[in-house]
Structure 1
């Protein structure tokens, strides 16, 4: 099947949207979400203010797209890791570390990621939950349950409790006063939890 070549107009639209997202990501990281205006984003992207609304209804809609892109990054990493690691312990550790890396590159969404951690563990396809945090919970809940079924993890602790603990790692690392890199901080905490989770 031969791919159709994009027209100049289509190529320009793709590039414009990409420029807006990249500008927003840069400014959100530098100034924060609330301090970044649509005008700031468009000035950074070197596009006219009205162009923004050709692609997004609001700043919140742009943010949602960024969160969904992060979720896709986590989903892709999980698919690769689950095929290249032999044990659920290795999968669990690798996915947490990879998620930390994604969050570290997009620190402005970390408060949203933490806030999105409610008590449910619905699949990401649910109309009630979208973005990286619900996907994280869904993936980790599945890994832990499979590890329990495989007798690799203790089954006397509900999977949901362990999932909540892993989610709280990111919050603890983000507020840590220790002179340790965010990703390393997360990794140390992961190893402690996994050690207590494994069947001895």
Structure 2
């Protein structure tokens, strides 16, 4: 019975992954608004009804993918923390991983920016504007935690609050997304991040 349940759970995980992978392909190809649930499920080679066994809406898929970004950044930074890397290296790595993820999944950028904006607002107002039932992934708090740790360790300037500096990091992605400069998104983020780190790092 346990082996049977194990197979069933594995099948569920594979189906969920197939839906997520298909959604990424379709969103990248057609854009979020133009992609239907039917498009996603056709690409996943699964019945439309199966979609609602795993997700309530397309928006929930976006939130799930943003959660994947948070997990990816968090894991990389845990490994760097274990290696006792300084806070400014953690900030650079987190910024680089985020830029790569968003560049590879550009359909997520508007929601990423909106989630960052809402995280700075009162919880009730933020929840009113996010898709119903969605929870904003805790991305901003990752940067805030690193900044606070860096300030306590004497690596980061402490004459500005950590949450204010974290907002500056988020603004880098928006500025890069709308930049008219003849450089790619990831390079743009990297250059802006380097300048920001130079300004907040203690000599």
TM bucket by the smaller chain?
Answer: 0.7 to 0.9
Does the CA contact (< 8 Å) of 1:121 and 1:137 recur in 2? no
Residue 98 of structure 2 is aligned to residue 99 of structure 1: yes
In 1, are the aligned partners of 2:37 and 2:58 still within 8 Å (CA)?
A: yes
Q: Mean Cα displacement is larger for which, 47-56 or 113-122? A: 113-122
Aligned to 1:158: 161
User: Which residue of structure 2 lines up, in the alignment, with residue 115 of structure 1?
Assistant: 114
Partner of 2:49 in structure 1? Answer: 50
C-alpha distance in 1, partners of 2:88/2:54? 42
Find the partner of 1:139 among 129, 137, 142: 142
CA 1:58–1:150: 2 relative to 1, 3 Å: same
> Taking structure 1 as reference, are residues 80 and 5 closer, same or farther at Cα in structure 2, changes over 3 Å only?
farther
Regions of 4+ moved over 6 Å: none
* Aligned length in residues: 192
Change (3 A) 1:6 1:119: closer
Q: Which runs of 5 or more residues in structure 2 are unaligned? A: 122-126, 128-133
* TM-aligned CA distance change 1:4 to 1:179, over 3 Å: farther
Task: Kindly report the root-mean-square deviation, in angstroms, between the aligned alpha carbons of the 2 structures.
Answer: 2.5
Give 3-state SS (helix, strand or coil) of 1:183's partner.
Answer: helix
Match of 1:72 in 2: 71
